[in-house]
A and B are shown apart, each in its own frame.
Chain A
Amino acid sequence: MKKLIGIVSLLILLVSCSSNDTDGIYYDNPEVSLEIPAGFPELNSFVSLNKLTKYGVELGEKLFSDKRFSADNTISCSSCHIQANAFADHNPQGIGIEGRVGLRNTPAIQNLIFMKFFNWDGSKLQLENQPLVPIITHEEMDSSILEVIGKIKDDAVYKDLFQKAFGDETITPERIFKSIAQFEYTLISVNSKYDKVKRNESAFTTAEAQGYATFQQKCASCHSTELFTDQSFRNIGFPINTDTNEAGRARVTGIPADYMSFRVPSLRNVEYTAPYGSFGQFPDLKSVLDYFDNGVLDADNLDPVFKNNAGKIPLSEEEKTNLIAFMKTLSDQKFIGK
């Protein structure tokens, strides 16, 4: 009889539990719908495999800034991917635990939902496969995914968030990677002055307009589309990173024609992401433009844009000034949290 009472009260408890759930926290994890502005390229095809949800994104954001991802608990994703810098930073090359210097410049994390390739060399095609790389890389976090899980598994806040995001408290590598990617997919920058001009909500100054004209004539063949990158890989004769781990895109493809080719970077928020180049060769935008104007390094696979033009993009000082004015219209203050 006692047993029966026990079971019955347990049942009641369960029923009341689940009725609570329906009007509240546990099963109500709505899909997040993102506003995709017109004119942008189509989404990365893997995005559809990882539905963005309210708590998935929230969990991803928390994981993104958790320093326990690094071996000595000093570095999180957001240590290098700083919002005020369009989720890049100001170091020439990424700096990991114990001040270890990485191979390349920290890329901005913005509009990744539209990108077909990730990293300077495009080594990853699916964003969910990316977070493991910094976690295990010696010069970055130098940890392992099970070490990370071991550190966070008893954290009540995470238990709650994993429950809400995925239906139970279990922390798995796949769930971590999916939720970080979900958060990153939400980082869409489309509210710059340029966007407002396009939407007839603002107008370029004379300098910006002239810069835009020069840009369309001399830059837009690579920095094309609303992303300001055509997502191609090109060797444009920048000063070479002599680290023997560096081969540019060729380290992925093994194709000599890809040697020291890098992904054309987006120019959105470029004002906030100095220094520039795959290992931060250039301290500011002016020095990049001067370099193009003075002539780049020759190479067998130098991009035709330079190969066919004596290795240069000739620019007058006025054009450079105006180009920089135009590039600053790609700054999205809302995106960087100002």
Chain B
Amino acid sequence: MQNFKKYLLLSFAALAFVSCSNNDDPVANNVTLEFNNTFKNNTIVLGDAASTSATTNTSAGGQIHHFSELKYVISNIRLIKEDGSEVTYNVNDLDKGATVIDQSKAASLSYILSNIPSATYKQIKFGLGIKPEINTLDQVRFPNFYAAAGANDTKMHWEWGTGYRFTKIEGFYDVDNKALSIHTGSTVEGTAPNYTQGVNAYRDITLNLTTNAIVGGSAPKIKIKADFDKLLSGKTNTITLGAGNATPSIHTAANMVLYVDNLGGNGSSDISGMFSITSVEN
């Protein structure tokens, strides 16, 4: 009898919940972007030169490699509704709308977009890197992002270009574990579209969701794969480290665009780069 009472109570409670969600769908909810950094389908484990646990990958050019450090900046996030209209997420505020994805910090792999209007979404857009007009290391305007990106264990300030690093990859290649060090960032001066000089390394990514994300009663999770196999074996460029079309250490705009296009697409024939949607959990 006691148990029966409990069940009765529970079912009332359940009913109450159901009726709640029927009548009072929240006007907004969270959307979580969950990044899985991989070599093909294997989630990357970082490791130093002698590491036996680090995930290794072999490029199209036959070069084995692994990473000890893997970071990149995501900003300018937009969600596209079923009807094609766009919801922007603090696209001009790096403190509220940008983040550093850092493979060494599990918490950084999930980025929660808060207060997304209830609707059905079919597509997501975001930037790999930061668009030129706000890529200025402005500590006054965006103190939180400036501090987070500039922290000693993050080092995403590109000081000489007075902008942010967009990607920072450290690792090792070939059987003798030579160092690789690939940094990307923008060097443009002037204003779009008439830059007076430099390279715009910002890339706009567009991904169609495999299942619509339904924001409202649920707070969907969008799982995004970033496949770093593409770094050397991309849709745009096949890169062999050490000789030929690239050098293994790129902190500069010389040859940097090869990597930028592989990771973030070339902006025309490739607008997804290394990114793809694994699943959407509503």
Contacts and interface: CB of A to CB of B under 8 A. Distances in A.
Interface of A: 119, 122-126, 129, 132-133, 136-138, 144-146, 172-173, 244-247, 250-256, 258-259
A301 to B, nearest CB: 11
Nearest to B250: A244
Contact of B187 (A138, A144, A173, A251): A251
Given A123-B187, A125-B189, A146-B139, A254 B160 contact: no
Contacts of B175: none
Interface residues of B, number: 29
A132 B140 CA distance: 13
A253 B198 contact: yes
Contacts of A245: 251-252
Contact of A136 (B137, B250, B257): B137
B157 A252 contact: no
B86 interface: no
B187 A252 contact: yes
Contacts of A146: 139-140, 143
Interface string B227-259: 000000000000000000001011111111100
B97 interface: no
Contacts of A133: 159-160, 162
Contacts of B140: 145-146, 172-173
B196 interface: yes
Interface in B139-163: 139-140, 143, 146, 150, 157, 159-162
B252 A251 contact: yes
A138 B189 contact: no
A48 B197 CA distance: 21
B16 interface: no
A129 B160 CA distance: 11
Contacts of B187: 123, 251-254
A125 B157 contact: no
B254 A259 contact: yes
Interface string B4-35: 00000000000000000000000000000000
Contacts of B60: none
Nearest to A145: B139
Contacts of A122: 197
A244 B253 contact: no
Given A126-B189, A133-B159, A251-B254, 17 more contacts: A124-B189, A132-B137, A132-B162, A136-B162, A138-B159, A172-B140, A173-B140, A244-B250, A250-B252, A250-B253, A250-B254, A251-B252, A252-B198, A252-B199, A254-B253, A254-B257, A255-B254
B181 A123 contact: no
The 9 closest A-B pairs by CB, nearest first: A251-B252, A244-B249, A254-B253, A250-B254, A247-B254, A247-B252, A254-B199, A137-B159, A245-B251
Contacts of B247: 244
A44 B118 CA distance: 52
A255 B199 CA distance: 9
A124 B159 CA distance: 12
B161 A123 contact: yes
A27 to B, nearest CB: 27
A247 B199 CA distance: 14
A321 to B, nearest CB: 39
Contacts of A125: 189-190, 196-197
Contacts of A138: 159
Q: Determine which residue in B143, B159, B160, B190 has the highest number of CB atoms from chain A within 10 A of its CB, and name it.
A: B160
A313 B226 CA distance: 52
Q: Determine which residue in A133, A172, A244, A255 has the highest number of CB atoms from chain B within 10 A of its CB, and name it.
A: A244
B139 A256 contact: no
Contacts of B197: 122, 125, 252-253
Contacts of B143: 146
Q: Determine which residue in B143, B190, B251 has the highest number of CB atoms from chain A within 10 A of its CB, and name it.
A: B251
A127 to B, nearest CB: 13
Given A122-B197, A144-B150, A173-B139, A254 B159 contact: no
B23 to A, nearest CB: 49
Contacts of B198: 252-254
Nearest to A251: B252
Contacts of A251: 160, 187, 251-254
Interface in B196-232: 196-199
Nearest to A147: B139
Nearest to B247: A244
Contacts of A247: 252-254
Nearest to B146: A144
Nearest to A103: B160
B254 A136 contact: no
Interface string B128-145: 000000000101100100
B253 A129 contact: no
Contacts of A258: 254
Nearest to B251: A245
A220 B157 CA distance: 39
A291 B255 CA distance: 30
